[in-house]
Amino acid sequence: MKKAKIYIPTKTAMQSGLGKNNKWLLEFYTDNKALNPLMGWETSSNTLSEVKLEFISKDEAINYAKSNNIDYDLIEPKKRKVVKKSYADNFIK
């Protein structure tokens, strides 16, 4: 049986804002991992591990996985901890 994970990808180091960070991905786990003897890269004979499906909502991704008999792990996004600072705090201490 196929196994996948459903999650929201993190932003890259080149991004500073949180816009366009609302898509959910369904990504299949890699089975039979091996190292390519020529290049040393990780490889697999299963091409399903290269598939990443994008969904607008978490519910759509879960419904797709259920309708196609895919076992899935749901990874909820962590809440950001925002510390409010003032510019004047730099000069108080």
Residue 50: give its domain's CATH number: 3.30.160
pLDDT above 70 coverage of the chain, percent = 96
Q: How many domains does the chain have?
A: 1
Q: With beta carbons less than 8 A apart as the criterion, state whether 64 and 72 touch.
A: no
Residue 35 forms part of a structural domain: yes
pTM over the 0.95 mark? no
For the chain, the maximum distance between any two Cα atoms, rounded to a whole number of angstroms, is 61
Residue 60 forms part of a structural domain: yes
- Quick check: 49 pLDDT over 90? no
Match 């004979």 to its residue by tokens.
45
Tokens of 27: 């990504």
**Highest mean pLDDT pick, 8-12, 59-63, 78-82:** 59-63
Q: With beta carbons less than 8 A apart as the criterion, state whether 8 and 26 touch.
A: no
Q: Is 4 exposed, middle or buried (0-12, 13-18, 19+ CB in 10 A)?
A: buried
Calculate ∠ Cα 54-30-43, nearest 5°: 115
User: For residue range 8-21, what is the model confidence (pLDDT) as tens digits?
Assistant: 988 877 877 767 77
Residue 14 forms part of a structural domain: no
Domain that holds residue 28: 3-9+22-92
Q: With beta carbons less than 8 A apart as the criterion, state whether 70 and 2 touch.
A: yes
Q: With beta carbons less than 8 A apart as the criterion, state whether 24 and 60 touch.
A: yes
Q: What is the pLDDT of residue 1?
A: 63
Q: What is the pLDDT of residue 62?
A: 96
- Quick check: 66 pLDDT over 70? yes
Residue 16 forms part of a structural domain: no
- Quick check: 75 pLDDT over 90? yes
